[in-house]
A and B are shown apart, each in its own frame.
Chain A
Amino acid sequence: MAERSLIDHLDDAVTAIIARRDADLAADDTDIASLAQVARELRGLPGESFKTKLRTELIRRGTMSSPKMKVDPIPKGYPTVSAYLCFSDAPAAIEFYKKAFGAEERMRLAEPSGKIGHAELKIADAVIMLSDEYPDYGALSPQTLGGSPVKMHLWVDDVDAFARQALAAGASMVRPIEDQFYGDRSGQIADPFGYTWIVSTRKEDVSPEEMQKRMDAFAQQQPGEGATQDEAPKQSSATYKREGFHTVTPYLTVEKAPELIEFMKQAFGATEIFRTTGSAGGLHAELRIRESMIMVGGGPGIKEMPTAIHLYVPDVDTVYERALQAGATSLFGPADQPYGERSGALVDPSGNHWYVATTFDTSEWPEELRTVTIYFHPIGAPRMIEFLKNAFGAEELARHQSDEGYVYHAKVRIGDSIVEMGEARDPSQPMPTAIYLYVEDVDAMYERSLKAGGTSVLPPTDQPYGDRNAWVNDPFGNVWYLAATIGKTGQ
């Protein structure tokens, strides 16, 4: 059979098959017969549009039914309430919480730049949600806002070990870990991003009634700090100090304040808590290094008052290198000292001296000292110690001196803080410095310091930033800003 007629013949067969008249097809040609068999089986071939349409229907229904079938209105693994924190550098914050708190990153939605739109951390059974700053959505970090009114509370198994780990990772101690009357051992630590964490381990179960009793007793026992001989204090012990501050805060007065702030951040991991520029162009800033505060002030043309600071760090060699990279020059490199610490000394670009030290002891710093301690180098240290006793009710804790009365090293307590002192000698020239000193009663302390030999620069005055201040110069060239908060800590 010619192909032409074969094709026509097959089509006849196909037409019959489609019309279901194929029963009596003559199968006289095996080629045609086998093709007709294929055609017969093709009779049930589905139409294209039907298959596509049904597919679309099913996908729509499947997708729509997904949430109804599977979604739990409160997703598993989430507590009802979670903190949602905002950071100026969320990726750094996540890294910090992993190291400091052992947090686990559960999810992260990031922009191509790495900026985090949403991330979730798990700390034990708690979920912390967080993002970078999105000012258009009202997401602003504590650094932008100048602090956070909200603190987080964390229960941990071993609060001391937890705090040690957090401090090593760069947190700072705001309130030391102590046994509390309500049965917990707890303290407060600040992360480098402006949030404060209360960390606690329960030691004793105490009923609320018993807590109230203990609180009343505790309040009665507090005589009030400071050395004023006034009548019973009207305020509780710490309300004259701003939150996070101790009695003594060094006030570094320099021409290039922004540069110094940057140096302290780079070299020592300082956190800028607050910065303002006055109408005359003067800058005032407050930085935290771990649990200690440092104030920085100044501007072009100001009389610089470089200060010597004893700075305890977890690893002196690392910090020393960082400080050099940040622009400091070396006084002497890290070396083991006979008095139980390894220390090095540097001068920052503004002329402040930093004695950086790590104790051999397992503790973070010597028991009574903090991360930051002012180190005075007066001419005539014994006289200055007398002045501090008379003016501020200071207490002499230790003094090492030669037979001729030359003071190598002394420790003096003022309020809840300690200052150190060593007679001025090369390379430690006299370094008159500025000190912000929180006292319970500015007026009384002002009078007392004048009687002890101080010179008044500014009598007690209420300041718009919420402190009552007086300004007294001592006979050794140091400037004392006496201060007490008056009402809210508004800045």
Chain B
Amino acid sequence: MAGARLRLSRVNESEERLLIEAAQSDPGRFAELYEQNFNCVYAYIARRVHDRSETQDLTSHVFHQALANLGKFKWRGTPFVAWLYRIAANAIADHARRKGRKLATDAVPASDNPAATDLEDCERRARLFNAVDKLPEDQRRVIVLRFADEKSIREIADEIGRSEGAVKQLQFRGLENLRARLSDEF
């Protein structure tokens, strides 16, 4: 089920395969794979590493590793993102070892198939992040400033030149829209 949903939510298999082969022969074309998979990888890491700059460092590391080792990737029918998750998982483990502590892995619900549920959750977040990009521009801007940049309502109001009430209103409408879009997909 999870596997099927993973594939459904992404470009289809043969398209992805073409993208991979194109990037393998011309690394300049890696950008397309990056666009396809960025939100998933970021969500996967963000879910485990709660520090924003560490999440960014690890995401950056995963894509650089993927680019450098793209030639070794062999198509076996599993989605490309699964390969990226494996690189991410290793990177997170290394990162934790270097920091000398075990990372908190909160909010992972118990399941018979934790890996599948885990990936499903990442996919859901990736879809949410994609949905943010499609919000009306003023709502999108408020959501990004509030959640990605973790700014206060006052800071956002100053930055976009609107009242605090208007910013709260945009935040509310934005979250409503996102909720609606997520529920549309299921």
A-to-B contact residues, CB < 8 Å: 6-8, 10-11, 14-15, 18, 20, 34-35, 38-39, 41-48, 50-51, 54-55, 57-59, 61-63, 65-66, 69-70
Which stretch in B12-20, B78-86, B169-177 binds the other chain? B169-177
Contacts A55-B34, A58-B67; is A38 near B128 (CB within 8 Å)? yes
Cβ-defined contact, B30 with A62, below 8 A: yes
Cβ-defined contact, A42 with B71, below 8 A: no
Instruction: In the A-B complex, list the 4 residue pairs whose CB atoms are closest, starting with the nearest.
Output: A44-B46, A62-B27, A42-B147, A47-B148
Taking the nearest CB of chain B, how far is it from the CB of A62, in angstroms? 4
B134-165 interface (Cβ within 8 A of A): 143-144, 146-150, 152-153, 165
Cβ-defined contact, A41 with B175, below 8 A: no
| B34 touches which of A39, A45, A48, A58 (Cβ 8 Å) | A58
In the bound complex, what is the Cα–Cα distance between A14 and B71 (angstroms)? Answer: 43
In the bound complex, what is the Cα–Cα distance between A34 and B52 (angstroms)? Answer: 24
| B149 touches which of A47, A51, A54, A58 (Cβ 8 Å) | A47
Chain A residues, CB < 8 A from B31: 55, 58-59, 62
**Interface status of B26 (Cβ within 8 A of chain A):** yes
In the bound complex, what is the Cα–Cα distance between A69 and B67 (angstroms)? Answer: 12
In the bound complex, what is the Cα–Cα distance between A66 and B60 (angstroms)? Answer: 20
Cβ-defined contact, A10 with B67, below 8 A: no
Cβ-defined contact, A62 with B146, below 8 A: no
Cβ-defined contact, B168 with A8, below 8 A: yes
Interface residue SS majority, chain A: helix
Cβ-defined contact, B175 with A39, below 8 A: yes
Contacts A38-B128, A41-B124, A41-B128; is A66 near B46 (CB within 8 Å)? no
Cβ-defined contact, A18 with B146, below 8 A: yes
**Interface status of B90 (Cβ within 8 A of chain A):** no
Instruction: Given contact pairs A46-B39, A50-B56, A59-B28, enumerate 12 new A-B contacts (beta carbons under 8 Å).
Output: A10-B171, A38-B178, A42-B132, A42-B178, A46-B38, A47-B52, A47-B56, A54-B34, A61-B67, A62-B27, A62-B28, A66-B26
Contacts A35-B175, A41-B124; is A46 near B148 (CB within 8 Å)? yes
Chain A residues, CB < 8 A from B50: 20
In the bound complex, what is the Cα–Cα distance between A43 and B42 (angstroms)? Answer: 11
Measured CB to CB, the nearest residue on chain A to B121 is A41
In the bound complex, what is the Cα–Cα distance between A54 and B168 (angstroms)? Answer: 31
| B172 touches which of A7, A15, A44 (Cβ 8 Å) | A7
How many B residues touch the partner, as a band?
Answer: 35 or more
Chain B residues, CB < 8 A from A35: 172, 175-176, 179
Taking the nearest CB of chain B, how far is it from the CB of A12, in angstroms? 10
Taking the nearest CB of chain A, how far is it from the CB of B169, in angstroms? 6
| A10 touches which of B25, B34, B175 (Cβ 8 Å) | B175
27 A-B contacts (beta carbon < 8 Å): A7-B168, A7-B169, A7-B172, A10-B168, A18-B146, A20-B50, A34-B179, A35-B172, A35-B176, A38-B175, A39-B147, A39-B175, A41-B128, A42-B147, A44-B43, A45-B143, A45-B144, A45-B148, A47-B56, A54-B56, A54-B59, A58-B67, A59-B30, A62-B27, A62-B31, A65-B27, A70-B26
Cβ-defined contact, B34 with A11, below 8 A: no
Taking the nearest CB of chain B, how far is it from the CB of A53, in angstroms? 9
Taking the nearest CB of chain A, how far is it from the CB of B182, in angstroms? 7
Taking the nearest CB of chain A, how far is it from the CB of B63, in angstroms? 6
Chain B residues, CB < 8 A from A69: 27, 71
Chain A residues, CB < 8 A from B129: 45-46
In the bound complex, what is the Cα–Cα distance between A484 and B64 (angstroms)? Answer: 76
Chain B residues, CB < 8 A from A45: 129, 132, 143-144, 147-148
Cβ-defined contact, A18 with B29, below 8 A: no
Measured CB to CB, the nearest residue on chain B to A44 is B46
Cβ-defined contact, B179 with A38, below 8 A: yes
Cβ-defined contact, B64 with A61, below 8 A: yes
Most chain B Cβ neighbours within 10 Å, of A8, A14, A18, A58: A58
Chain B residues, CB < 8 A from A34: 179
Taking the nearest CB of chain B, how far is it from the CB of A247, in angstroms? 62
| A58 touches which of B30, B55, B56, B179 (Cβ 8 Å) | B30
Taking the nearest CB of chain A, how far is it from the CB of B168, in angstroms? 5
In the bound complex, what is the Cα–Cα distance between A94 and B179 (angstroms)? Answer: 64
**Interface status of B125 (Cβ within 8 A of chain A):** yes
- Taken residue by residue from 60 to 93, chain B's Cβ proximity to chain A (1 for < 8 Å, 0 otherwise) reads as 1001100100010000000000000000000000
Chain A residues, CB < 8 A from B147: 18, 39, 42-43, 45
| B144 touches which of A14, A44, A47 (Cβ 8 Å) | A47
In the bound complex, what is the Cα–Cα distance between A46 and B182 (angstroms)? Answer: 18
Measured CB to CB, the nearest residue on chain A to B53 is A50
In the bound complex, what is the Cα–Cα distance between A244 and B171 (angstroms)? Answer: 89
Chain A residues, CB < 8 A from B168: 7-8, 10-11
In the bound complex, what is the Cα–Cα distance between A39 and B171 (angstroms)? Answer: 10
Measured CB to CB, the nearest residue on chain B to A65 is B27
Chain B residues, CB < 8 A from A57: 60, 64
Chain B residues, CB < 8 A from A48: 144, 148
Cβ-defined contact, A41 with B125, below 8 A: yes
In the bound complex, what is the Cα–Cα distance between A43 and B150 (angstroms)? Answer: 9
In the bound complex, what is the Cα–Cα distance between A431 and B71 (angstroms)? Answer: 80
In the bound complex, what is the Cα–Cα distance between A43 and B144 (angstroms)? Answer: 10
Taking the nearest CB of chain B, how far is it from the CB of A19, in angstroms? 9
Contacts A11-B171, A41-B125; is A63 near B144 (CB within 8 Å)? no
